[in-house]
Structure 1
Amino acid sequence: MNIRVTLDGQPVDATLNDSPAARDLASLLPLTVGLKDFHGTERIGDPPRKLTTDGAPEPAAAKAGDIAYYAPWGNLALFYEDGPAASVDLLVLGHIDADPAQIGGADRITVETAS
């Protein structure tokens, strides 16, 4: 699913995969989330509720540009550096086609359905 993402007011192309968690995120759109840095690899923020983890795909290590969901905390993560080894608790939901430095410096993300 193509989505429209803005990072601090700058539009970038992005897609969500077809996982149940990504579809659940899409059901919340439009959505604006404040972001903070986490471990020097990702920007994280909280959606208004936890997403479903039913039918979660096999764990995969997040790569720079990935949109992910960390199930135990219920937060979204935008990776600007490659993440740690695969974790059953981290679900990759999609990918943002943006410069890693733009993702790493973002304080706010807005996600909408593409027109």
Structure 2
Amino acid sequence: MKLRLEVGNSRITASVIDSGTARDFLSLLPLQLRMGDLHRREKCAHLPRPLSESGTLTKNYEVGDLAYRLPEGDIAVFYRHDGQTVPTGLITIAKANSHLKALSAEGPVDVTIDLAK
């Protein structure tokens, strides 16, 4: 299954990882989020409600990961790697591999997330 993220005129496609967290995230779609910048490596936003934490918890991420941030309950999309880990932990929901440049714009961006058709 694939997700489509729209950032301005750019479209990003991401492959969903099968987990309880990912399935719970899918139940929220479509989402329109104002995503702020965090550490100049990720865009993140609050979700309307907490997600299941039944996915694999990690402190590592890769560029293109769409992940659930714990304990904040935010969704994050990583557009750059700064060599650091995320001390509080992440559950990866999906992986994108291209068109991430739109996320690297300074400041907040409006993002629509839905299932890819």
TM-score bracket for the superposition, by shorter chain length: 0.7 to 0.9
Which residue identity lines up with residue 17 of structure 1 in the other structure? I
Report the TM-score, using the length of structure 1 for normalisation: 0.86
- C-alpha separation in 2, matches of 1:18 and 1:111: 17
1:76-112 CA-to-partner distances (Å, cap 9, x unmatched) read 1110112623656211111123334322226011111
Aligned to 1:44: 44
- C-alpha separation in 1, matches of 2:65 and 2:44: 12
Cα contact 1:43–1:77 (8 A) shared by 2: yes
Aligned to 1:10: 10
Identity %: 27
65 and 72 in structure 1: CA distance in 2 versus 1, 3 angstrom threshold = same
Cα contact 1:65–1:103 (8 A) shared by 2: no
Aligned to 2:73: 74
57 and 113 in structure 1: CA distance in 2 versus 1, 3 angstrom threshold = same
Report the TM-score, using the length of structure 2 for normalisation: 0.84
- C-alpha separation in 2, matches of 1:13 and 1:100: 10
Matches within 5 A, 1:1-115: 1-54=1-54, 56-59=55-58, 61-82=60-81, 84-85=84-85, 87=87, 89-105=89-105, 107-115=109-117
- The more displaced of 15-24 and 97-106 is 97-106
- RMSD of the TM alignment (CA)? 1.9
Please, which runs of 5 or more residues in structure 2 have no aligned partner? none
Please, which runs of 5 or more residues in structure 1 have no aligned partner? none
- The more displaced of 83-92 and 34-43 is 83-92
Equivalenced residues, count: 114
Which residue identity lines up with residue 16 of structure 2 in the other structure? L
